[in-house]
Chain A
């Protein structure tokens, strides 16, 4: 099995053709997975993925690698569970080691109201066969003895929804795995190729413009993240997306002490320990819209203080690296994917702070949509029409620690 140890991750160099059956804009996880499943499930192999930078340079390479399915609406619990199940067998599927690790994920409650909400989460998950149980404070202490149960004396832990299979994975390996597997099936992955315009004929999208010229296509899929509205502006489509930064940091490596993923909506943070021993801390989005990936001291200082409330031993650690990604945020914190009013133009966006865990199912469903022209049932509630029909899929309480 190739992978991180053999470093066999190069992609074959190919020249850009003048036509493809499908062009996917954006070489992140969703774009690469869409191309992979088009080739694998539907035999559509004349596919190009156009990435303006390097693959995985956006949200897929900047997220905090948590895999879980503990959502709260029927539509999304089913959706993320399907993704989680695909992730379970992804290493074998792609013949690429993804370092997936099931850790057990605690979603903590620091008040009676939160405790009731987490009990409800556990019950809803169980209805859809997602393995989540409610733990009281004593049980939380048992599964994660490193926690300060008083949370610095300020927010005592009441209990938690414990999502047993929740865990982490190597995000770069997901990118490289999909890219190399798609390439083996004939998909062309072009890095350093920006899309500068779209070709429209009689209201139909028939290709894209690049610095190397026009490339025609039977269908164009935008799998662009934070910059998606620049693409939709090119086709004259308005979508309810605003772009917010999201920051995270890791500490220096520490001995392996934390084998859970711990999230707290009251503290607006979550913490895990990477395979390299770094303590990884993520949080909610920055409060203002921006395309800047510069990190802020405010974030590092306030987030570190809250992490130390949870895990006092982290006070001894030093911050090693801090970074920022930009997120395509929808009003209801659920993804936006499906066909658009523009013939030949498909959208996979609105992945906000919750997209990484949805890469396999997002790619598989988009591939089915593009290949068959029918909207798969699993993404039917997540279309662009839902907002104007007042059928939002509200997931703010599950999509992150907001």
Chain B
């Protein structure tokens, strides 16, 4: 089995055409005074939900439209639930 993902621009394609972007991450903001900046960076950059279930995630269609999409996938079965 090879995973297939439906790109909103290009239609159904194998995931080998995409780069996996992981769970969406909030943009970096300057640390507020009194906040441990290293700790805040650690939490933003490295902590994920790592859910065994439906996960919201980003993919980049590098071999197609070269646009990012956000979709949902069940990480237990690799079944995609959404479109970008």
Contact B78 A388 (CB under 8 A): no
Q: Does B10 contact A (CB under 8 A)?
A: no
A289 within 8 A of B: yes
Are A298's CB and B2's CB within 8 A? yes
Asked if residues A388 and B1 are in contact (CB atoms below 8 Å), the reply is: no
- CB within 8 Å of B: which A109-146 residues: none
Which of A242, A243, A290, A297 lies at the interface centre, i.e. has the most chain B CB atoms within 10 A of its CB?
A290
| Complex interface: chain B residues within 8 A of A388 (CB) | 36, 38-39, 42-43
Interface pair B42/A298, CB less than 8 Å apart: no
Contact flags B46-60 to A (C-beta < 8 A → 1, else 0): 111110100101000
- CA distance in complex: A292, B39 (Å): 32
Residues on the A chain within 8 Å of B2, using CB: 296-298
- Interface residue? A274 (CB, 8 A): no
B36 surroundings in chain A (CB, below 8 A) = 388
Instruction: Evaluate whether A240 and B42 lie within 8 angstroms (CB atoms) in the complex, with A287-B20, A298-B2 already known.
Output: yes
Interface residues on B, range: 20 to 34
Known A298-B2, A389-B38; judge A331-B76 contact (CB<8 A): no
A377 contacts partner chain B, Cβ-Cβ < 8 Å? no
Verify B22–A242 contact, CB threshold 8 A: yes
Chain A interface residue count, CB cutoff 8 Å, equals 25
Does A387 interact with chain B (Cβ within 8 Å)? yes
Judging by beta carbons under 8 Å apart, are A298 and B47 in contact?
Answer: no
CA distance A294 to B3 in the complex (A): 11
Contact yes or no, B46 A289, CB < 8 A: no
Asked whether any CB of chain A lies closer than 8 Å to the CB of B9, the reply is no
**Smallest Cβ-Cβ distance to B78: which chain A residue:** A292
Q: Which residues of B contact A387 (CB under 8 A)?
A: 42, 46
A291 interface contact, C-beta 8 A: yes
Q: Kindly provide the distance from the CB of B27 to the nearest chain A CB, expressed in whole angstroms.
A: 19
For B3, what are the chain A residues with a Cβ–Cβ distance below 8 Å? 288, 296
Name A271-319 residues within 8 Å CB distance of B: 287-292, 294-298
- Least Cβ–Cβ distance between A195 and chain B, in angstroms: 14
